[in-house]
Amino acid sequence: MDERDAYANLLMPTLLRERRLSGRDAGLATELAYGTLRGLGTYDEVIAACSDRAPEDLDPPLLDAIRLGVHQLLKTRVPPHAAVGTTVDLVRLRVGTGASKYANAVLRKVAGRSLEQWLPIVAPDPGEDPIGYLAVAYSHPRWIVTAMRDAVGGDFDETAALLAADNERPRVTLVARPGRASVEELLASGAQPARYSPYAAYLPEGDPGSVLAVAEARAAVQDEASQLVALALTRVPVTGGDSRWLDLCAGPGGKAGLLDAIAVHGAALPAASREPSGPASASGERGGASGEPGGPSGASAVLGGPGGASGASTVPGAPGGPSGPAAFPGGANLLAAELQYHRARLVRQTTREAAVITADGTVPAWRSGVFDRVMVDAPCTGLGALRRRPEARWRRDPRSLPDLGRLQRELLASALEAVRPGGVVAYVTCSPHLAETTAVVGDVLRHRDDVETLDARAYLPEVEGLGEGPHVQFWPHRHGTDGMFLTLLRRR
Ligand SMILES: C[S@@+](CC[C@H](N)C(=O)[O-])C[C@H]1O[C@@H](n2cnc3c(N)ncnc32)[C@H](O)[C@@H]1O
């Protein structure tokens, strides 16, 4: 990965093909590579304790091979003699005989203790340096541990649980795009029922591409929180027209794919919203998802629709309910904007009806105040998706935060200009870092008196543990999803 400056999830399939590895061998190779990348922060401390040279002074190929050996010794059930033997052989072949003797000596020392026995030796005392302890014990850079601690509200145990969840391989979640595929179809293909999203199913094993609906782009791999933040935007009642939707940062098209399908086929409602009590605004105003005045083109039209083919519930009797007319007689139209041309092309593959343009969302290619719903899924550090990219935690740089923060503020401001009075904006990041979430929203709203913050939790009543509100924060350790953040804002 280092040599080619590549992303593990993109490079690994190529390497497996090149080396003709498949089945269990491919699984083992992937586990070893991903596990080693995730665990570097811990393993380098152990290597330092067993070596007379600092890890950064070792030849990179030698260091990488030793790390691979340490991972096998401390985190897998590979027998120690095999872990040491194969690593030493690898070093002899790739680096040389002298280096292989060195690797052998280091690994034999490492093998003398378990991970639990090594931690008190190599990690700082948690009482004296809690951040340093978590950084070594859970193999994350210090700045990320600090950011996560702040984001969970300072709780040490919860920070530890979150960091531990980052080290687990995420399950594969599929989305059945409403009107194009159904959850039932995914279940019949071997997927399992999902916990929250009416469009989701979990794929316990196998290649998602072998699922027919995925191969035909009627379904896709999409994190459940990513599905839910898009769904939440479509569930907010709006009065007046509801036909123009904008996705300001659409590439590669996960949320746009779902928004596009919902725009045409209607959104699924949670079972709870059949009751009269409905979502509330942050200021305490009640407005039932099915009860808010809106007329035929208002909320109920959005929330009705055939309900997708996923079998999810819709408001009984609402226009477009199972027996009613179509939710959007002409359909709502999604405009999907993306800065990068190649990513805009990917959005074209995930959407069917949407207009996709390559555009800078901060320099609008549209008139202001014309959209009914706007999604701004801003570029961010991606700290909420560390489970997915094993090397990401070591590549992210806190020095990117100021530039990202500026862009996030500009994009949110642009979204608020694009939406019409009465319309709704969803500000989303795949990061729980407070500098990218509440700080951005707070700063942008400080300059405006025409924006109301909605209690976003009310639009996701099927999900527990979303925080104190009005914002929503998904967590890998609580929800088994990416750490995605959502704010819902209504322009007055
Ligand atoms: C977090 S990703 C969006 C993910 C996407 N919504 C999805 O669900 O697949 C952010 C995207 O914003 C794009 N981007 C960055 N700056 C932008 C800008 N000024 N205008 C529009 N898009 C931008 C990036 O290229 C990237 O594709």
Note whether 365 and 443 are same-domain residues. yes
In a domain, 283, yes or no: yes
In a domain, 253, yes or no: yes
Binding-site residue ranges: 249-255, 377
Residue range(s) defining the domain that contains residue 35: 1-122
At 22 the pLDDT is: 84
Centre of ligand 1 from the C-alpha of residue 412, in Å: 12
At 293 the pLDDT is: 31
Note whether 381 and 483 are same-domain residues. yes
At 74 the pLDDT is: 98
Q: Is 338 in the pocket of ligand 1 (CB under 6 A)?
A: yes
In a domain, 180, yes or no: no
Burial of 6 by CB count in 10 Å (0-12 exposed, 13-18 middle, 19+ buried)?
A: middle
At 2 the pLDDT is: 64
At 295 the pLDDT is: 31
Q: Is 379 in the pocket of ligand 1 (CB under 6 A)?
A: yes
Note whether 161 and 273 are same-domain residues. no
Q: Is 307 in the pocket of ligand 1 (CB under 6 A)?
A: no
Q: Is 364 in the pocket of ligand 1 (CB under 6 A)?
A: no
Exposure string of 351-379, with b = 16+ CB inside 10 Å and e = fewer, is bbebebebbebeebebeeeebbbbbbbbb
Note whether 357 and 475 are same-domain residues. yes
- CA-375 nearest atom, ligand 1: 6
24: three-class secondary structure by DSSP: helix
- 472 Rama sector, left if φ>0, alpha if ψ -120 to 50, beta otherwise: beta
Note whether 321 and 355 are same-domain residues. yes
At 271 the pLDDT is: 59
Centre of ligand 1 from the C-alpha of residue 378, in Å: 6
Active site residues: 430
Centre of ligand 1 from the C-alpha of residue 241, in Å: 27
Distances (CA, A) of 146 to 151, 303, 383: 9, 40, 12
Note whether 278 and 313 are same-domain residues. yes
64: three-class secondary structure by DSSP: helix
Binding-site residue ranges for S-adenosyl-L-methionine: 249-255, 377
Centre of ligand 1 from the C-alpha of residue 461, in Å: 28
In a domain, 203, yes or no: no
Residues β-bridged to residue 196: none
Note whether 478 and 466 are same-domain residues. yes
What single letter denotes the amino acid at residue 253? G
In a domain, 182, yes or no: no
Centre of ligand 1 from the C-alpha of residue 476, in Å: 22
Note whether 118 and 145 are same-domain residues. no
At 5 the pLDDT is: 59
Give the residue, out of 227, 249, 428, with the most ligand 1 atoms within 8 A of its beta carbon, to mutate for a pocket test: 249
At 20 the pLDDT is: 87
In a domain, 312, yes or no: yes
Q: CA-CA distance, 169 to 476, in Å (whole number)? A: 11
At 9 the pLDDT is: 74
- Tokens standing for residue 146: 């600090």
In a domain, 300, yes or no: yes
Beta strand spans in 261-402 (E): 333-338, 355-358, 371-377
User: pLDDT for 20-65, tens place per residue?
Assistant: 888 888 888 989 999 999 999 999 999 999 999 999 999 999 999 9
Residues β-bridged to residue 201: 174, 193
Which CATH number does the domain housing residue 376 bear? 3.40.50.150
Note whether 366 and 335 are same-domain residues. yes
Which CATH number does the domain housing residue 71 bear? 1.10.940.10
Note whether 434 and 350 are same-domain residues. yes
Note whether 9 and 47 are same-domain residues. yes
- Protein residue with least CA distance to atom 23, ligand 1: 339
Q: Is 361 in the pocket of ligand 1 (CB under 6 A)?
A: yes
- CA-382 nearest atom, ligand 1: 1
- Protein residue with least CA distance to atom 26, ligand 1: 251
In a domain, 356, yes or no: yes
Domain count, the chain: 3
User: pLDDT for 264-296, tens place per residue?
Assistant: 988 887 755 434 344 445 543 333 333 333 332
pLDDT in tens, the chain (492 residues): 666 656 777 788 888 888 888 888 888 898 999 999 999 999 999 999 999 999 999 999 999 999 999 999 999 999 999 999 999 999 999 999 999 999 999 999 999 999 999 999 999 999 999 999 999 999 999 999 999 999 999 999 999 999 999 999 999 999 999 999 999 999 999 999 999 999 999 999 988 999 999 999 999 999 999 999 999 999 999 988 999 999 999 999 999 999 999 999 888 877 554 343 444 455 433 333 333 333 323 333 333 333 333 333 333 223 333 322 333 434 799 999 999 999 999 999 999 999 999 999 999 999 999 999 999 999 999 999 999 999 999 999 999 999 999 999 999 999 999 999 999 999 999 999 999 999 999 999 999 999 999 999 999 999 999 999 999 999 999 999 999 999 999 999
Q: CA-CA distance, 2 to 395, in Å (whole number)? A: 10
- CA-360 nearest atom, ligand 1: 20
Q: Is 343 in the pocket of ligand 1 (CB under 6 A)?
A: yes
Centre of ligand 1 from the C-alpha of residue 29, in Å: 32
Cβ proximity of 66 and 107 under 8 Å: yes
Q: Is 250 in the pocket of ligand 1 (CB under 6 A)?
A: yes
Note whether 482 and 448 are same-domain residues. yes
What's the order of all strands across the beta sheet hosting 200-203? 192-193, 200-203, 172-176, 219-221
Q: Is 360 in the pocket of ligand 1 (CB under 6 A)?
A: yes
At 1 the pLDDT is: 62
Cβ proximity of 278 and 292 under 8 Å: yes
Q: What is the ipTM of this complex?
A: 0.99
How many C-beta atoms lie closer than 10 Å to residue 32's C-beta? 17
